[in-house]
Structure 1
Amino acid sequence: MTMSSSPVLPSHLTLRKLRIATGLVMFVFMTTHLLNHSLNLISLPVAESGLRWFAAFWGSAAGGVLLYGAVLTHIGLVLHALYRRCSLRMQPEEAFQLVLGLLIPLFLIDHVVATRVAHALHGERITYESVIRSLWVTTPVSGVRQTVALVVAWAHGCIGLHFWLRYRDWYRDASPSLLMGATLLPVLALLGFSETGRLLARAPAPVSPLPEPEVLASADAGLQLARLTLYGAFGGLLAGTFGLRGLRQWRERGATIVVHYPGNRNVRVPRGFTVLEASRVGRIPHYAVCGGKGRCSTCRVEVLGDPAALPPPDELEKATLERVGAPPGVRLACQLRPAHDISVAPVLVPHRKRSRLLDVREMSPGREQEIAVMFCDMRNFTGMTEKRLPYDTVFLLNRYFALVGQAVEESGGRIDKFIGDGAMALFGIDSTPRDGCRAALRAARKIAEDIERLHRELGLEFPAPLRVAIGIHAGPAVIGVMGYGRARSLTAVGDTVNVASRLESVAKERNATLVVSEPVMRMAQVDTDGLPADVIQVRGRAKQLRVFVDPPVSPP
């Protein structure tokens, strides 16, 4: 029996990775190009020397294939993505980047023809002196156009790089330095261009001038033909993309589906739209922190009907749903393309106000990470301060918070928040789980020692000894920026945080200073042989947990 097989097309994720890879190639080219421009601030001969190094790779056969292959592939993938979009409704920053990207060829075609194409057709030697004299002295309008082109191309690349890296663990700390570099590099390049242009404008014209690229391109019929061909090709591709989009939408008018939402809200869209796109068409508030790329689960919906009638999830959607433990019948709205009418209910329902939606998009979607969490609370604080002046209470709290904060930070942890007379701290966010657990144990020991010292200083002021209750647990938690407005901060949520809070309560119940879970001791590689342990039932948790009460450990 003969089986016919349809060609396997690259997945959406594969095409996106290829678009990122080709964009990175062009960004590296732009970076080296701007660095070369910046050498003009030293002198024109130094820039000419740098140009030889620059052209040694990018002007070679391998460099040319890599660069122009990346350019053509990237343009093709962008137009393909534009064609595939069921709706042109998008976030403002996404639309801004798209517009900048479409403007780049229109700005750069003349410059490419005057330099690269002229060199390929006539073997003309291109130098910094000839290019800058042409753009600054002979045809300053072209110089202004190339300046705008440089800013547009660099801004497009930086925005794309930001979208790609914004959820990486290290990016938040590195972003100020990257922003400074992204701002300084084009400024230095433009200063180098203008400085050399001013020098050439004041200098006498050379006796045997090299051909000026812009002048040559305007006079040469072959270059004019190449210029018109490139403009026509790009314009034709762009017009063809929108034309095919229009043709597809016209054909899909008779093939529409209805997406039913709670509250008798219905949105009719062409077949092939995702549920998230239907929400945007119908102006129904719908979370999508990652921008609809399947990298988060905030857009997930519960299918109210038979989920078996829907197309199965692809690898990207399946992996995301499995990671969050989604039950059957829950799908990602940004990946689900129903072929028939469907009823859905968003799992996360956002506020209708746009300000709230914008605030959510600015936050990190979070990441799962193994960390250690510590809760610390002052024992019998209410009783100690019941008959004291408010200013005295504030004084005590500030002394207590200061010693807890210093102990945590000196041990390598991070104070998450102060709640009443309690504190929550995170360890291991920027290190390994082992280092995080060791840091938490060091911080707990230092807090206990400092509390004893504080009691010796203020003991006469209080009828009972100053004591704390500390609970430490380690395991997976979701780390992300949460909150609203100015109250946003990096924090952690999950079962690990809840268990650490319960262990602090256990320390109070057992009149102990410290209760540490077995996972903390194991990750910290502390020898527990001979240490008394206990198995407790943590409230809200099905499994029992082995813990150590006031363990006499000195973590490395």
Structure 2
Amino acid sequence: MPEIYCRPDGETVPINPNETVLDALLRANIDHTHVCGGHANCSTCRIMVLDGIEHCTLPSGPELALAKKLDFPFHIRLACQTKVSQGKVEIRRMVLDRDDIGLVDQQLAHRGTGAKKNVALLVAGIRGEAEFDEVNFPFDVVYVISRYFNRLHQVVSKFGGTLNNFLGNRAIATFGVEERENSARQAIWAALEMQTAMGELNHFLQTLSYQPLQLTIGVHFGPVVLVPVDPTRPELVSPFGEAVNVATLIEAANKNAGTSLLVSGDAHQQVKDAVTTQRTGRLARTGGDLTLVEITAITGEPPFVNSIVSQATAPGLSLGQRVTAFMNRFKK
């Protein structure tokens, strides 16, 4: 008779070829989670097949649909839909408590996370001739940096990106979370527009006797794992993986290179026919050298995704128009 070795319980369970893994576990008094009752509607009975997947039946139609929605790799199966024809199969139960059930619910509501996905990463850092927080009062720091992040958010959002992390003077934006094929192009367009916006911000700061800020940007294209980081807003995800480290290294390389925008060879490959480049170079690092390309311009139609700008913050409006627009928001 076929058998299942179940982790983390450490139990071996016999299974009949005509019963599901879920049925076999419950028969063995292993309290395996199955919120929907075993009908492939919730995925809480998910298991990881560690060994012997060739002995498992193929996914059913409902299981395939759910696996596609949640980006499951091939070895993540639903216990309520999986049978074992012969031999021994080793599995790990993946939903063990209420916290796990909550995470599964978030995945169903906001699409799957956990699979690797190729995205474009943009890391933006700001520097001054002196440490900005050491030469200004706290109010000045809040005022200036808030203006910077507000403009950064507008640009990133307009080109379909999401601001995920803030690390001191650095911000990380991700492009391509929603399966867009031109994520590298969007990131580079955003980077170039951010440079223009920084020039405008510095002009404004100088009129107020602030020292100008220097913006340096690194862009990389590569695989990451997207992980929800806020239980109250599961649609917000943060990228994890070596690609994040690479993008951060590229941004930092601008300082020694005397540049303001560097992209990796992988990112450049996605847009090479549409960009103007100045210099190329190599960055030595553990795990292999990086090809770096300085980009100064890009051609074609801007790949806008979200071009709607709040009337109250839209550039070019007079103060009176902006106040009126702001007040109108409360009348709707």
User: What TM-score, normalized to structure 2?
Assistant: 0.64
Equivalent in the alignment of 1:544: 289
Equivalent in the alignment of 2:148: 400
The higher-RCO structure (CA 8 Å, 6+ apart) is 2
Equivalent in the alignment of 1:491: 237
User: In structure 2, what is the Cα distance between the partners aligned to 1:291 and 1:474?
Assistant: 39
Asked if the contact 1:302–1:331 (Cα under 8 Å) also holds between the matched residues in 2, the reply is no
SS of the residue aligned with 2:299? coil
Instruction: Report the CA distance shift for 1:497/1:413 in structure 2 as closer, same or farther (over 3 A).
Output: farther
Asked if the contact 2:126–2:169 (Cα under 8 Å) also holds between the matched residues in 1, the reply is yes
Equivalent in the alignment of 1:526: 273
Runs of 4+ in 1 over 6 A off after TM superposition: 323-326
Equivalent in the alignment of 1:555: 299
User: In structure 2, what is the Cα distance between the partners aligned to 1:522 and 1:437?
Assistant: 9
Gaps of 5+ in 2: 301-332
Instruction: Report the CA distance shift for 1:381/1:414 in structure 2 as closer, same or farther (over 3 A).
Output: farther
- Give 1:496 deviation, angstroms: 4.1
Equivalent in the alignment of 1:422: 170
Matched, 1:361 2:78: no
Instruction: Report the CA distance shift for 1:450/1:279 in structure 2 as closer, same or farther (over 3 A).
Output: farther
Asked if the contact 1:276–1:292 (Cα under 8 Å) also holds between the matched residues in 2, the reply is no
Moved more, 277-286 or 447-456: 277-286
User: In structure 2, what is the Cα distance between the partners aligned to 1:343 and 1:354?
Assistant: 24
User: In structure 1, what is the Cα distance between the partners aligned to 2:243 and 2:135?
Assistant: 37
Equivalent in the alignment of 1:208: none
Equivalent in the alignment of 1:81: none
Gaps of 5+ in 1: 1-254
- Give 1:448 deviation, angstroms: 1.6
- Give 1:400 deviation, angstroms: 0.9
Matched, 1:455 2:202: yes
Asked if the contact 1:502–1:538 (Cα under 8 Å) also holds between the matched residues in 2, the reply is no
Instruction: Report the CA distance shift for 1:264/1:376 in structure 2 as closer, same or farther (over 3 A).
Output: same
- How many residues are treated as equivalent by the alignment? 280
SS of the residue aligned with 1:467? strand
User: In structure 2, what is the Cα distance between the partners aligned to 1:422 and 1:529?
Assistant: 25
Task: Please point out which of 262, 284, 308 is paired with 2:8.
Answer: 262
Instruction: Report the CA distance shift for 1:337/1:530 in structure 2 as closer, same or farther (over 3 A).
Output: same
Instruction: Report the CA distance shift for 1:484/1:273 in structure 2 as closer, same or farther (over 3 A).
Output: farther
Task: Please point out which of 445, 456, 468 is paired with 2:192.
Answer: 445
SS of the residue aligned with 2:297? coil
- Give 1:484 deviation, angstroms: 4.5
Matched, 1:413 2:160: yes
SS of the residue aligned with 1:512? coil
- Give 1:258 deviation, angstroms: 5.6
Q: Give RMSD over aligned pairs.
A: 4.4
User: In structure 1, what is the Cα distance between the partners aligned to 2:24 and 2:130?
Assistant: 54
User: In structure 2, what is the Cα distance between the partners aligned to 1:509 and 1:287?
Assistant: 56
Task: Please point out which of 115, 132, 145 is paired with 1:384.
Answer: 132
Asked if the contact 2:4–2:91 (Cα under 8 Å) also holds between the matched residues in 1, the reply is no
User: In structure 2, what is the Cα distance between the partners aligned to 1:513 and 1:439?
Assistant: 18
Instruction: Report the CA distance shift for 1:266/1:552 in structure 2 as closer, same or farther (over 3 A).
Output: same
Instruction: Report the CA distance shift for 1:267/1:520 in structure 2 as closer, same or farther (over 3 A).
Output: same
- Give 1:402 deviation, angstroms: 0.9
- Give 1:528 deviation, angstroms: 6.4
Equivalent in the alignment of 1:156: none
Moved more, 279-288 or 513-522: 279-288
- Give 1:486 deviation, angstroms: 0.7
- Give 1:403 deviation, angstroms: 1.3
User: In structure 2, what is the Cα distance between the partners aligned to 1:501 and 1:380?
Assistant: 19
- Give 1:269 deviation, angstroms: 4.9
- Give 1:384 deviation, angstroms: 1.3
Q: What is the letter of the counterpart of residue 485 of structure 1?
A: P
User: In structure 2, what is the Cα distance between the partners aligned to 1:528 and 1:311?
Assistant: 51
Asked if the contact 1:371–1:433 (Cα under 8 Å) also holds between the matched residues in 2, the reply is no
- Give 1:548 deviation, angstroms: 0.8
User: What TM-score, normalized to structure 1?
Assistant: 0.41
Matched, 1:311 2:59: no
Task: Please point out which of 321, 326, 337 is paired with 2:84.
Answer: 337
Asked if the contact 1:273–1:338 (Cα under 8 Å) also holds between the matched residues in 2, the reply is no
Instruction: Report the CA distance shift for 1:370/1:345 in structure 2 as closer, same or farther (over 3 A).
Output: closer
Instruction: Report the CA distance shift for 1:259/1:373 in structure 2 as closer, same or farther (over 3 A).
Output: same
Equivalent in the alignment of 2:123: 375
Q: What is the letter of the counterpart of residue 292 of structure 2?
A: V
Deviations 1:236-282 (A, max 9, x none): xxxxxxxxxxxxxxxxxxx6846443354555654544445545661
Q: How does 1:156-195 map to 2 (within 5 A)?
A: none
Percent of residue pairs bearing the same amino acid type: 20
Instruction: Report the CA distance shift for 1:418/1:345 in structure 2 as closer, same or farther (over 3 A).
Output: closer
- Give 1:337 deviation, angstroms: 1.6
User: In structure 1, what is the Cα distance between the partners aligned to 2:179 and 2:17?
Assistant: 47
Equivalent in the alignment of 1:516: 263
- Give 1:338 deviation, angstroms: 5.9
Instruction: Report the CA distance shift for 1:516/1:280 in structure 2 as closer, same or farther (over 3 A).
Output: farther
SS of the residue aligned with 1:365? coil
User: In structure 1, what is the Cα distance between the partners aligned to 2:282 and 2:39?
Assistant: 45
User: In structure 2, what is the Cα distance between the partners aligned to 1:495 and 1:287?
Assistant: 36
Q: What is the letter of the counterpart of residue 386 of structure 1?
A: E
Instruction: Report the CA distance shift for 1:264/1:438 in structure 2 as closer, same or farther (over 3 A).
Output: closer
Q: How does 1:44-193 map to 2 (within 5 A)?
A: none
Which protein has the bigger strand share?
Answer: 2
- Give 1:385 deviation, angstroms: 0.6
